[in-house]
Structure 1
């Protein structure tokens, strides 16, 4: 698989500390020595991209698993995902949660280093357009990391310059509104200074339209209900701001709706017209820079049943029966994305699981080196987000909403059109369209449906009686215990944990 640009991890320069509040800073002397050419800045920005490598796994572990898409309770032995799925209160030390905090802050630190050096040494880059683009890429990525943090944890420390560990020990959590202020500022700069398209050598870098897509989603998320918690929803009415950005992407004609659902995710059709922003990987290198998300929700015994080596998915995270039963006959999304059991060594596994990203002809010898990108933004999502904005009162008509949903359904092989689509119906269609892509939990929270859907789902699905009663406090995760313990009283643990 050909990849375009490398996520260069500059280990000698960008060192980090895995068990402190924030990453160890590179010394000012080292920084001043390193940033001496345009290529140095390019490598510095590439290092900021590098922290996206775990982003897909995180969305599957923290959003997909948390949602009503999976019934990931214990099947023998304690798994890290069980507490996520089952709303356990004692998950502050969960490694998935800790990873979300540390990796996002590592990306923020790297972005801050680049932005700081652009101020101090940026005139080295004589091409002013390139200089602005690199600043815009760093700000797009910093906004991405902070948005992931605010949706996961709510109030978090706001850090906009490179700081030392001792300095980090004096920075408390900031209000969600302050985090959003930085996110909006960064993304607005990115929309104004990123390129509309990238040259072939720069595929995978952020563009003006990926920044607009993320900014639209930020406005929509801010417009979601507050649930009376310090979470991502602020109850604002910014649907009109969002739809203006979404329409700009649609009207650009840079992207298009693929007629084949499976072709969106084909290993031989990457960077297709559906892709607005994806996480790029390259295989066959040392250190390994391939992906791992393809097998994350797939049990190892399934690969063994196909004569392949185990990958790392361990045991099964079954697709919820309520989701399986929601599909209409002939829906190609179900047959493409869900594997209905298997037999290995004479033992039958009847439960279903997601295989959306698995091509059995592409299974690598190294389970950490899968040759597939992760689509973080795609055109169908932009269309359906537009429909969501219209249903919330933004400019548009019911006919437009219905047309978007019917376009999606037709591609899925469904011939019966729908009319007068409501918000719950739209979100149900999004569930089927984007299952296994890590969007579902945030969709439920943003739409305000999480309070009704999750309790009803637990009642219908939890045959093992393992899931705790849903509380709105569980919309966000606890601050990692390792961060709470670094300095007593610096952070306040999120309610409910």
Structure 2
């Protein structure tokens, strides 16, 4: 079983898991802090509390990256859903609850990480094992970097907060330049690489490892290296592809990970923590409120009804785009596993639109559609191989033959026996699209590759049969608006992102 989440359920009762609305960096009271951080176990539980803020991350990644991209044509039929304005590039997204949650949840995680880090400094004698103390600091810093990186990719400039602050102090913190936020992210991940463990015993699976930190840092360098589009977003045109390459090579050389075959076994409920997984968000089920929600989010309620699963609610279908459906070559096993093509439900009503079902196993569900016992894989070995190919194509040391070999390893596992030659960046991004469909990577891949405006503006007129998408899609749409709730906290503290 997954010990991290057993600990979290108890830790949240102490009050550290309460939702901080907006950018609320209110510190835990001195009394509660003194009574909690008494020994190493307390610090471990506090770090687990930082991990727990990842629970809703897969849902947000799906909405803000997949639904935003050419993988989904998310126009509803039963009223406007929260995800529909994201698909449509609406100018009103500053009030969207999904966008607001991306801000709130990331800063909640940062608050928890900062609390742990501050207490490690304030209580230097509580943990007597130096290696354990360094590891716990590394885990907190890894997670803080993860949250800030997600904020950069979502909002561009954000407030940079490295310690717990009072509400009055928070109101003095403006948005920092993207470069400054990246500096903290890189520093935190470098410390994590030096001090995290290579691997963990079963009881601690799910904790970040050295390879997890290497992989996320490589993703950071690839993202920073992407074009800036004339906005203050995640790309800085920094050309740091050569910094990503050795990190990816270190993961490959560690021999701790490999491609898992067949493709479906990567996501099997009885094969979690397999050789392909480098970092994931850990869940368990049983009706205790700590199972995953994202598999049920991707599938509509009418499908569950047709399958004889009486789940509550009225979740509408989020259709896979025809463009993605038509992109899979014959024999690609990823298509049938990732996408459910159609179904018939009550009174023989036929639903012709396809939806993602990559993480869905009806027989493995918990008590309802909010309780799935499957981990969400944030970083896996196939991504490392394809990021290496990307770094080489963008100018890092390597040959076109190496690129072809890396891409063809992934294609071969997908059942595609005809190898590609002279793979270019556009082809690579299409391979990534099919490999990682429904995994929250597509929008970010398009942005950092420099293809996002070209691809989306070619796609939207063809796919948008109901003329709902705000066209043309511009550079201002690459990042999301600062939530209205944050803009209203203190007049003039933040300037809204252009276009909203």
Q: TM-score range by the shorter chain?
A: over 0.9
Counterpart of 1:362 in structure 2 is 364
Within the candidate set 479, 482, 487, 1:484 is matched to 487
Task: Confirm or deny that 1:320 pairs with 2:324.
Answer: no
Distance 2:452 2:210 in 1: 32
Paired positions, count:
495
Counterpart of 2:227 in structure 1 is 225
Native 8 Å contact 2:228 2:237 kept in 1 = yes
CA deviations 1:84-108 (Å, max 9, x no partner) are 0010001101000010000100000
Sort the Cα spacing of 1:277 and 1:136 in 2 relative to 1 into closer, same or farther, 3 A. same
Sort the Cα spacing of 1:17 and 1:362 in 2 relative to 1 into closer, same or farther, 3 A. closer
Counterpart of 1:165 in structure 2 is 167
Native 8 Å contact 1:225 1:234 kept in 2 = yes
Counterpart of 2:266 in structure 1 is 264
| Matches for 1:90-489 after TM superposition, within 5 Å | 90-284=92-286, 286=288, 288-310=289-311, 314-345=315-346, 346-469=348-471, 470-489=473-492
CA deviations 1:65-121 (Å, max 9, x no partner) are 101000001323111111000100011010000100001000000000000000011
Deviation (angstroms), 1:17: 5.5
Distance 1:298 1:15 in 2: 29
Deviation (angstroms), 1:367: 2.2
Aligned-partner SS, 1:276: strand
Distance 1:98 1:227 in 2: 24
Native 8 Å contact 1:295 1:312 kept in 2 = no
Distance 2:126 2:313 in 1: 45
Native 8 Å contact 1:296 1:312 kept in 2 = no
| Matches for 1:5-20 after TM superposition, within 5 Å | 5-6=4-5, 7-8=8-9, 9-14=11-16, 16=18, 18-20=20-22
Deviation (angstroms), 1:283: 1.8
Native 8 Å contact 1:261 1:333 kept in 2 = yes
Aligned-partner SS, 1:348: strand
Structure 1: any 5+ residue segments left out of the alignment? Answer: none
Counterpart of 1:61 in structure 2 is 63
Deviation (angstroms), 1:486: 1.0
Counterpart of 2:34 in structure 1 is 32
Distance 1:251 1:381 in 2: 15
CA deviations 1:99-154 (Å, max 9, x no partner) are 00001000000000000000011321111000000000000000000000010000
CA deviations 1:328-382 (Å, max 9, x no partner) are 1111100111111100121000011101111121122222211100001100000
Distance 1:275 1:15 in 2: 27
Counterpart of 2:2 in structure 1 is 3
Distance 1:313 1:229 in 2: 38
CA deviations 1:417-441 (Å, max 9, x no partner) are 1100000000001000000001000
Native 8 Å contact 2:114 2:164 kept in 1 = yes
Deviation (angstroms), 1:170: 1.0
Within the candidate set 63, 73, 76, 1:74 is matched to 76
Counterpart of 1:494 in structure 2 is 497
Native 8 Å contact 1:225 1:448 kept in 2 = yes
Sort the Cα spacing of 1:313 and 1:340 in 2 relative to 1 into closer, same or farther, 3 A. farther
Native 8 Å contact 1:13 1:30 kept in 2 = no
Distance 1:483 1:15 in 2: 21
Structure 2: any 5+ residue segments left out of the alignment? Answer: none
Distance 2:164 2:132 in 1: 23
Deviation (angstroms), 1:465: 0.7
| Matches for 1:43-54 after TM superposition, within 5 Å | 43-54=45-56
Deviation (angstroms), 1:259: 2.3
Deviation (angstroms), 1:296: 1.1
Per mean C-alpha deviation after superposition, the further-off stretch among 365-374 and 433-442 is 365-374
Distance 1:307 1:49 in 2: 34
Aligned-partner SS, 2:99: helix
Per mean C-alpha deviation after superposition, the further-off stretch among 382-391 and 255-264 is 255-264
Distance 1:378 1:464 in 2: 36
Distance 1:15 1:239 in 2: 38
Counterpart of 1:22 in structure 2 is 24
Aligned-partner SS, 1:364: coil
Deviation (angstroms), 1:10: 2.6
Counterpart of 2:90 in structure 1 is 88
Distance 1:72 1:15 in 2: 32
Aligned-partner SS, 2:83: helix
Native 8 Å contact 2:284 2:291 kept in 1 = yes
Native 8 Å contact 1:319 1:352 kept in 2 = yes
Sort the Cα spacing of 1:93 and 1:22 in 2 relative to 1 into closer, same or farther, 3 A. same
Aligned-partner SS, 2:343: strand
Sort the Cα spacing of 1:421 and 1:130 in 2 relative to 1 into closer, same or farther, 3 A. same
Q: Give the CA RMSD over aligned residues.
A: 1.2
